[in-house]
Each structure stands twice: as structure tokens, then as C-alpha cells.
């Protein structure tokens, strides 16, 4: 879509668009270009010179068992975060949708966690499951379960998943709730008259109608799990134990900043660029015509 009526001149629009273009160029394109360029080199240990290695860094990465493991970790993590945030959200939204009065109050309460930063959420959950002072871990101990996410990789993964999914429940709830509210009542009533009970109506009518929203949320939550959960992992596990919670984004950080391995970190950035690119394309291609609010 284009405007029919436009203003004349070319200097003014260039000046108007300049701030955004300059900032994008300096802080987005140049660094991204640098990442691609650096991914083709291996710097010497003193950072004085670097040697061109072509796709050497990539070949090394793809054969590196830690990197492959990080891919797998990221996949498991993203799937779990998505499931743990979407299912409870849908459940709550379905219940809230049945209420005529009071759903506003519940909604207000439920959006709180969205405002809590992932890193702060990490601290809250760490506090509950802290091996020394955590309330939940203490009660688990009373029940005979010895919780220790510092040593146990599976428990560490469980904790970062729950802490990451927690704030997203609010977000998903809002979208599911809006979608459910827009399902025409007449359709549901008609089914009810035909004698379809609640679950029958839910799976037969409501769920298909909100599928576009669910699919949209699926993509958005995967993107979130990939790129926005750094704070949770950094505060709770710092990628451990034995790299069992080192997702790809965390590895770029730990190899680049902590390990100072610039070539490898840049190559990882480039791989992530491809991943974001794919996810963005999916988002635009399939999610465009999704909801009818």
C-alpha cells in the first residue's frame, strides 16, 4: 500500500530517515559485518594479528562436540519453555473466558510476571530453589528428595525452563484470552444446543478457531527462548553444571567474552544470524494473516 498524496523534495526525507539509518548502520550492520568477517579468521593469542582460515571456524564448530551439544540443549530448552508457558496460559485463559465477572481482576494479577525482567525472575527462582536457603528445596528435602541444581544437570535445566516460562505465561495468557473472547458466542451456543458438552466444544470448535494465535505464539516463544533468556541462565546456572544449560546465545557470550575466543564466537554469531533469519521468515510468511481481533 502506498500513499497517493505525497510531499515534494528529497533532502528533507533523507534528513528525517538519517538518524535511524545511521544508528542501524553503526550499531547493527557494521557489527554484523564484523562478525561475519571475523568468523573467517583465527586471531593469534595476543590479538596482534590474525590468520585467514576461510570456513575453518565453522568446520571446527560443527565437529566440536560441545557446540553440537549446545544445539541440542537449545532445542530441548526451547521446546520445554514453549510448552511450559503455553499450556498453563491456555488453561488459565479458558477458565478466565468462562467468567463473566471478575476476569479483569485476574487478568491484572496475571500480567505482573510479564513486567518482571528475565534476570530478576532468575533471581526469584534461584532463591526458591537455592540449595542452602531455598524454601522449595527445603520442603523437597523434607519429602525425601535431595534437590541440587548446582550438581544435577537435569534439575538445572528444569529450573531455568520454569524460570524462563514463568513470565511468558502472562504474555501467552493475554493473547489466548483475546483470541477466546473473539470466538463468536453464537457458534458455541449452537453447539451447546446440539448437546456438545464443554470439552467437546473446546476441541471441536474453539481450538481450531484459535489455532492461528497458538501458532503465532509458538513462533514468538521459540524466538524468546532462543534470544531473551540469557538473563535467566546467567543468574541461575551460568551455563552449568558441565555446560548442561549452555544454550547457543550463552555460548556466544562465554566463548567471546569469558573465553576470548573471537573467531569461534563470531562464527557462532553468524550461525545464530542464520537461525534468526529463518525464524523471522517463518514468522512473516506463516504468521502474517493469523488473528482477527
Partner 1 sequence: MAQQHGMVEKRGLGIWMTHAFMILGVLVIFFPIWLAFVASTVTQPEIVKPPMPLWPGDQFWENYSRALFSGVNVPVATMLFNSLVMAIGIAVGKIIISLLSAFAIVYFRFPGRQTFFWMIFITLMLPVEVRIVPTFEVVAGFGMLNSYYGLIFPLIASATATFLFRQFFLTIPDELAEAARVDGARPMRFFWDIVVPMSRTNIAALFVILFIYGWNQYLWPLLITTDPEMNTIVMGIKQMFPSGDDVAEWPVIMATSILAMIPPVIVVVSMQKLFVRGLVDSEK
Is residue 151 at the binding interface for partner 1, with CB under 8 A as the rule? no
Q: In angstroms, how far apart are the furthest CA atoms of the chain?
A: 78
Q: Is 156 left (phi over 0), alpha (psi -120 to 50) or beta?
A: alpha
Sites for partner 1 among residues 9-38 (CB under 8 A): 9-10, 12-14, 16-17, 19-21, 23-32, 34-35, 38
Q: Which of 87, 135, 151, 258 binds partner 1 (CB under 8 A)?
A: 135
Is residue 132 at the binding interface for partner 1, with CB under 8 A as the rule? yes
8 A C-beta contact, residue 17 and residue 23? no
Sign of CA dihedral 185, 187, 193, 198: negative
Cα(254)–Cα(74) distance, rounded to whole angstroms?
15
Q: Which of 58, 60, 71, 114 binds partner 1 (CB under 8 A)?
A: 114
Q: What one-character DSSP code corresponds to residue 197?
A: -
Output 53 or 275, the one with its CB closest to partner 1.
275
Q: Which of 74, 118, 160, 239 binds partner 1 (CB under 8 A)?
A: 118
Q: Which of 169, 180, 222, 267 binds partner 1 (CB under 8 A)?
A: 169
Is residue 69 at the binding interface for partner 1, with CB under 8 A as the rule? no
DSSP β-bridge partners for residue 42: 51
Cβ of residue 255: shortest distance to partner 1, in angstroms? 9
Cβ of residue 138: shortest distance to partner 1, in angstroms? 4
The pattern of x and - marking residues 239 through 258 that bind partner 1 according to CB under 8 A reads ----------x--xx--xx-
Q: How many CB atoms lie within 10 A of CB 276?
A: 12
Cβ of residue 19: shortest distance to partner 1, in angstroms? 4
Cβ of residue 187: shortest distance to partner 1, in angstroms? 11
Cα(249)–Cα(228) distance, rounded to whole angstroms?
9
Q: What one-character DSSP code corresponds to residue 203?
A: I
Is residue 99 at the binding interface for partner 1, with CB under 8 A as the rule? yes
Amino acid at each position: 500500500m502506498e500513499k497517493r498524496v505525497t510531499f515534494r523534495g528529497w533532502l528533507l526525507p533523507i534528513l528525517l530517515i538519517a538518524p535511524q539509518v545511521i544508528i542501524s548502520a553503526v550499531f547493527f550492520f557494521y557489527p554484523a559485518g564484523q562478525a561475519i568477517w571475523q568468523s573467517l579468521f583465527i586471531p593469534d593469542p595476543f590479538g596482534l594479528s590474525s590468520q585467514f582460515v576461510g570456513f575453518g571456524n565453522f568446520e571446527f564448530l560443527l565437529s566440536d562436540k560441545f557446540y553440537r551439544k549446545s544445539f541440542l540443549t537449545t532445542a530441548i530448552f526451547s521446546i520445554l519453555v514453549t510448552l511450559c508457558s503455553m499450556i498453563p496460559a491456555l488453561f488459565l485463559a479458558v477458565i478466565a473466558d468462562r467468567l463473566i465477572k471478575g476476569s479483569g481482576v485476574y487478568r491484572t494479577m496475571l500480567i505482573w510476571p510479564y513486567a518482571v525482567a528475565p534476570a530478576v525472575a532468575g533471581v526469584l527462582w534461584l532463591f526458591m530453589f537455592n540449595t542452602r536457603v531455598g524454601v522449595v528445596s527445603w520442603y523437597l528435602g523434607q519429602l525425601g528428595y535431595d534437590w541440587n541444581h548446582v550438581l544435577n544437570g537435569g534439575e538445572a535445566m528444569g529450573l531455568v525452563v520454569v524460570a524462563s516460562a514463568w513470565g511468558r505465561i502472562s504474555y501467552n495468557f493475554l493473547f489466548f484470552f483475546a483470541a477466546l473472547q473473539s470466538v463468536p458466542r453464537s457458534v458455541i451456543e449452537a453447539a451447546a444446543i446440539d448437546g456438545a458438552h464443554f470439552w467437546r466444544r473446546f476441541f471441536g470448535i474453539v481450538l481450531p478457531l484459535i489455532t492461528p494465535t497458538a501458532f503465532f505464539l509458538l513462533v514468538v516463544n521459540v524466538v524468546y527462548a532462543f534470544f531473551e533468556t540469557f538473563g535467566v541462565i546467567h543468574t541461575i546456572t551460568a551455563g552449568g553444571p558441565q555446560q548442561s544449560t549452555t544454550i547457543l546465545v550463552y555460548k556466544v557470550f562465554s566463548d567471546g567474552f569469558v573465553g576470548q575466543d573471537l573467531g569461534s564466537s563470531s562464527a557462532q554469531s553468524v550461525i545464530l544470524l542464520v537461525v534468526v533469519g529463518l525464524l523471522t521468515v517463518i514468522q512473516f510468511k506463516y504468521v502474517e494473516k493469523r488473528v482477527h481481533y
